[in-house]
Structure 1
């Protein structure tokens, strides 16, 4: 469905209307509202197959944005190949304009500095800039994402349909819990990421992901050495971040 103009939505009204909508209904609403200017993102993480299957059952050819940091575990790359083939994904891979080697030469191994400023710089370079570039190049006005409210404090504040800067965000599984995820995967015979069997509940880059332990109060404690919960892709950028992302030094 081709839609040339971005609709202007009253989010309070939209969310009231969609309050009881299930995940599939939200995807169908997104397609009817935004047409071919709707995209989705994936990290090929532990439960990525849920959103990929849920969405492509309704919109088989939707552009699927994958930001490849260059530091993902080998198992993630193989898992991505498996799901791409199984679900016939229209995959769009984006990477930083800085290679891992060049970034390390200029800034060092940022993940080893173990402070939030270093992690934020790493995320801006390897994740946020490629994602923003993807959205612009694909002319997206709406973005389907598999965030869940029980994952982080920020995600507890989200609505089923939100606005992040000038992009509408749609969260089909926002209110799902672990049991819902498990039931969907088993019902549709979908795989978990192989690190699930190693005790991981969330997986990103090899250097900043680890298995869940008894001392963790939240699954996101297993990411970024527990010092931050969000990588920045799903957060509004500040003017300073916008300037740094557009800087020729990156």
Structure 2
């Protein structure tokens, strides 16, 4: 949607290094097909480096999970905000994804002054499907976020700041 209005808009991807093969293929395809101005942020350590020292990603019950989430998702996100200094953050959040998101507003102002706009917040899965079909867009169903683990859980990016 955003690239139809501004083709060169920076699109930030927080690549934790833990994506599925399908997600990486999807990212490459959508970047190519839409000629995205993709800006990728990674954790400061690679997945291989992290796992060599600390083992596989900790589960939700593991006390190390919060530090893992901070390292692979939250710190790279804060770095992206610092380096790119956007005034507006467009996000594809949908309210039916989690209880927290269902209580969010489509437009909000963060403590940091960043205007967060979620134009799809009230869209249903059918709305998304129809949009993808209408514009012949690729879709990715094999997605896994090790910082969320569970489908209806937040990773921390969209919690009030």
Superposition TM-score, scaled by structure 2 size: 0.89
**Are 1:163 and 2:104 counterparts?**
no
- Aligned-residue offset at 1:105: 4.0
Partner of 1:224: 149
3-state SS, counterpart of residue 22 of structure 2: helix
- Aligned-residue offset at 1:162: 0.8
The 8 Å contact of residues 72 and 204 in structure 1, kept in 2 or not, is answered as yes
- Aligned-residue offset at 1:164: 2.8
Partner of 2:100: 154
2:94 and 2:105 map into 1 onto residues whose CA distance is 10
3-state SS, counterpart of residue 57 of structure 1: helix
Partner of 1:16: none
Per-residue deviation, residues 137-195 of structure 1 (Å, max 9, x unmatched): 111121000001111111012111112331211001011001111111111111211xx
Counterpart selection for 1:204 from 137, 144, 152: 144
**Count of paired positions:** 160
3-state SS, counterpart of residue 71 of structure 2: helix
1:62 and 1:163 map into 2 onto residues whose CA distance is 20
Structure possessing the higher radius of gyration over alpha carbons? 1
3-state SS, counterpart of residue 224 of structure 1: coil
Per-residue deviation, residues 27-70 of structure 1 (Å, max 9, x unmatched): xxxxxxxxxxxxxxxxxxxxxxxxxxx11111211110001111
Residues 102-121 of structure 1 aligned to structure 2 (within 5 Å): 102-111=49-58, 113-115=59-61, 117-121=63-67
2:40 and 2:62 map into 1 onto residues whose CA distance is 27
State the Cα RMSD in Å.
2.1
1:168 and 1:72 map into 2 onto residues whose CA distance is 28
* Greater helix share, structure number: 1
Structure 1, unmatched stretches of 5+, are: 1-53, 210-222, 238-250
Partner of 1:77: 24
- Aligned-residue offset at 1:127: 0.7
Per-residue deviation, residues 83-111 of structure 1 (Å, max 9, x unmatched): 00100100000001122233234443233
Structure 2, unmatched stretches of 5+, are: none
Identify if the C-alpha distance between structure 1 residues 140 and 117 changes in structure 2 by more than 3 Å, giving closer, same or farther: farther
Counterpart selection for 1:123 from 51, 69, 85: 69
